[in-house]
């Protein structure tokens, strides 16, 4: 029997969080339908202004919170009683403003990765019912966050996502040279974090969520058997009718081979997993079009500072709109397994039919 997931004050019918996929891949439509089916739907904050009615080409940072709240509104129109949250990368230049916008928009859960969200409880102190969920890849990172939150804010995480850098998509919280060498033990890390929490904070109910490489029911059951309390899935939801990406983006998943998926160094200073068969064209686009940084979307960015690599948010935006020739298509290691279009409900039926 698969148990419901309790995240703070919110009870989720199924122990599944839909991972945040930035630049409007997981917008209001996908998040709303996941929540409607009984999971946690996440609207990703990164680049949410692009391809929105609020962005005029010059007002990126002003348009971001407006577009963010609009996508949350769309999600709640689909699932009025659903558990809808957000993913906000710590690396974003407007991190604080987007956290505030998430709360204003009614987010019930805030998930934060791409950096350590050490100040998050202070930013959300006026909204104690909002569940706070950091993403980590190590026991050390979890300990650092927990100690900082408990000492500075008398607050513990409501859940912790443990992301496997060997399989997860998008920006990864590990050094490039340490990814894929067979040394990372995701479920060992999950068990170590659970032991730490039970020892230091006995009685605290903090679910630990496995992220990265979760594709089907067997993966879900294995994660739960290995000690996880739930899973986070992102790539599996791309090839659904409800995903916010263009059809061409979804076709890139359907057509990619396992050998097409690899690592790319982001100008954010983090490695990312993506379809890399077009990686030379991603950089060449910015060279040919003399692209300049107009958004200043990241706190630290080698493209903004020196023109090194490529404009990551623009390349992701091109892909989201359907330009998969020069756009960056982030994905997890199992994206090649996508073999058909489906619906969010069909995925939930496969994962949880026996629990209905």
In the chain, the domains with their CATH numbers are 5-244+339-355 (3.20.20.70), 248-330 (no CATH)
Mean pLDDT of the chain: 95
Residue 266 has pLDDT above 70, yes or no: yes
pLDDT at res. 69: 97
- The CA distance from 245 to 330, in Å, is 12
pLDDT at res. 68: 97
Q: Mean pLDDT, to the nearest integer, of 171-188? A: 92
Q: Are 41 and 82 in contact (CB under 8 A)?
A: yes
By C-alpha distance, which of 238, 236, 329 is closest to 279?
329
Q: Per the structure block, which two tokens stand in for 258?
A: 């396992």
Q: Mean pLDDT, to the nearest integer, of 322-332? A: 96
- The per-residue DSSP string of 37-50 comes to TTSEEEEE-TTTTT
- The CA distance from 40 to 17, in Å, is 5
Q: Per the structure block, which two tokens stand in for 312?
A: 């990551």
- The CA distance from 207 to 193, in Å, is 10
Residue 355 has pLDDT above 90, yes or no: no
Beta-strand (E) ranges in 208-266? Answer: 208-211, 230-233, 261-265
pTM equals 0.96
Compute and round to an integer the Cα radius of gyration of the chain. Answer: 19
Residue 109 has pLDDT above 80, yes or no: yes
pLDDT at res. 291: 85
Give pLDDT tens digits for 35-61: 999 999 999 999 999 999 999 999 999
Residue 356 has pLDDT above 70, yes or no: no
By C-alpha distance, which of 122, 97, 101 is closest to 296?
97
pLDDT at res. 301: 87
Residue 84 has pLDDT above 70, yes or no: yes
Q: Mean pLDDT, to the nearest integer, of 236-265? A: 97
pLDDT at res. 173: 86
Q: Mean pLDDT, to the nearest integer, of 148-168? A: 97
pLDDT at res. 293: 83
pLDDT at res. 306: 85
Residue 323 has pLDDT above 60, yes or no: yes
pLDDT at res. 130: 98
Q: Mean pLDDT, to the nearest integer, of 224-234? A: 97
Higher local confidence (pLDDT), 17 or 291 = 17
Q: Mean pLDDT, to the nearest integer, of 4-32? A: 97
Q: What is the dihedral of CA 160, 164, 170, 172, to 10 degrees?
A: 80
Q: What is the dihedral of CA 199, 200, 205, 209, to 10 degrees?
A: -80
Please, which pLDDT band fits residue 1 given cuts at 50, 70 and 90?
Answer: confident
Residue 167 has pLDDT above 70, yes or no: yes
């Amino acid at each position: 029997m698969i148990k419901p997931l309790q995240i703070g004050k919110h009870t989720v019918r199924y122990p599944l969080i839909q991972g945040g996929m930035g630049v409007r891949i997981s917008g209001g439509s996908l998040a709303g339908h996941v929540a409607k089916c009984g999971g946690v739907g996440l609207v990703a904050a990164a680049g949410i202004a692009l391809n929105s009615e609020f962005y005029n080409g010059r007002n990126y940072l002003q348009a971001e919170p407006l577009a963010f709240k609009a996508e949350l509104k769309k999600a709640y129109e689909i699932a009025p009683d659903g558990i809808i949250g957000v993913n906000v990368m710590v690396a974003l230049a407007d991190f604080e403003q987007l956290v505030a916008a998430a709360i204003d928009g009614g987010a019930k859960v805030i998930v934060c990765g791409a950096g350590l969200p050490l100040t998050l409880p202070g930013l959300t102190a006026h909204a104690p019912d909002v569940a706070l969920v950091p993403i980590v890849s190590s026991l050390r990172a979890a300990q650092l966050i927990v100690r900082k939150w408990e000492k500075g804010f008398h607050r513990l995480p409501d859940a912790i996502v443990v992301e496997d850098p060997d399989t997860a998509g998008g920006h990864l919280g590990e050094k490039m040279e340490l990814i894929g060498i067979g040394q990372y033990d995701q479920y060992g890390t999950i068990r170590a974090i659970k032991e730490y929490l039970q020892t230091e904070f006995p009685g605290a109910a903090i679910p630990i969520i496995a992220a990265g490489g979760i594709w089907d029911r067997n993966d879900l059951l294995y994660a739960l058997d290995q000690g996880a309390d739930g899973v986070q899935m992102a790539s599996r939801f791309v090839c659904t009718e409800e995903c916010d990406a263009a059809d061409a983006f979804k076709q890139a998943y359907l057509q990619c081979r396992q050998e097409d998926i690899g690592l790319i160094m982001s100008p954010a200073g983090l490695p990312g997993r993506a379809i890399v068969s077009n990686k030379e064209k991603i950089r060449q686009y910015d060279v040919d079009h003399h692209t300049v940084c107009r958004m200043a979307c990241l706190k630290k960015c080698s493209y903004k500072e020196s023109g090194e690599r490529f404009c990551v948010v623009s390349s992701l935006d091109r892909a989201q709109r359907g330009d998969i020739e020069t756009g960056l298509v982030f994905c997890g290691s199992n994206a090649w397994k996508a073999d058909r279009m489906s619906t969010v409900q069909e995925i939930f039926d496969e994962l949880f039919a026996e629990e209905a």
